[in-house]
Amino acid sequence: MIASGNALPPPAYGVVCDIDVQGHPPIKKKARRTPLRFLGKLYELLKGLPTARLVSFSDSPWASPIVIVLKKNGIDIRLCIDYKRVNAITAIMEYAMPLVDDLLTEMEAYLWFCSLDAASGLWAVMMTRRARKISAFVFALGHFEWLRMPFGLKNVPMIYQRMIDNALWGFVQPKGGWANFSEKMRIAETADAEDRAGVTEASVSLNETPRTKFEAD
């Protein structure tokens, strides 16, 4: 969060977060009770968000409750928003997410790997006007709505993945080019099919009733 030293990233070009609830009327849930021992920490966590233009005070007819989760150290808290009701009525975004099997097959050709942590990466995405209203959340200290994309909404993974894919377009390709990649994928799929066939045959043989030595061939 901003209070922990992460700077607010500049808005991503050409990317927004929208929420299509397919004409559903607003859902306004009541604020859940916040344990008194967490109230001060919750205030410290949230007081910098309006100044940083991450959230704003809201008059939205929508409101989702918050959930406080303890971090691993058992002291600090993490703010989560219960968007279950909103997600249930949100139209899903159609975007092809990477398949784990494809990624694992491609990794066989490499010896060195690195991981990049995009600090506050979701906050690079602006919210549309209606998404701001629908993302509104309520708790003991007020009613707010998001100006940047929060975690927990249904289509956030697809929106963020598309942004990363577009940003890295032309820079990331399999070792040896796409021709070798397609051949490796074909070989991997063939091997996987053969393995599955072998497992099926083994299962069939195990299910057969064993013959005794007195049975004739």
Provide the pLDDT confidence category of residue 73 given band limits of 50, 70 and 90.
confident
| Every domain of the chain and the residues it spans | 2-95+118-167
65 against 7, higher pLDDT: 65
pTM above 0.85, yes or no: no
Task: Give the start-end residues of each E strand in 19-140.
Answer: 55-57, 64-70, 77-81, 126-127, 137-139
Q: What is d(CA 88, CA 154) in angstroms, rounded to the nearest whole number?
A: 8
Provide the pLDDT confidence category of residue 2 given band limits of 50, 70 and 90.
very low
pLDDT in tens, 163-199: 988 888 877 666 666 666 667 667 777 887 888 776 5
Looking at residue 177, what is its pLDDT? 60
123 with 8: CB under 8 angstroms? yes
Please check the confidence at residue 145 and state whether its pLDDT lies above 80: yes
Show Cβ contacts of residue 32 under 8 Å, excluding neighbours closer than 6 positions.
Answer: 65, 66, 67, 139
Closest CA relative to residue 17, chosen from 177, 112, 184, 129: 129
177 against 94, higher pLDDT: 94
Please check the confidence at residue 58 and state whether its pLDDT lies above 90: yes
Percent residues over pLDDT 90 in the chain: 37
Q: How many CB atoms lie within 10 A of CB 66?
A: 20
pLDDT in tens, 102-131: 778 777 777 777 777 777 789 999 999 999
| Fold of domain 2-95+118-167 | HIV Type 1 Reverse Transcriptase; Chain A, domain 1 (3.10.10)
Provide the pLDDT confidence category of residue 211 given band limits of 50, 70 and 90.
low
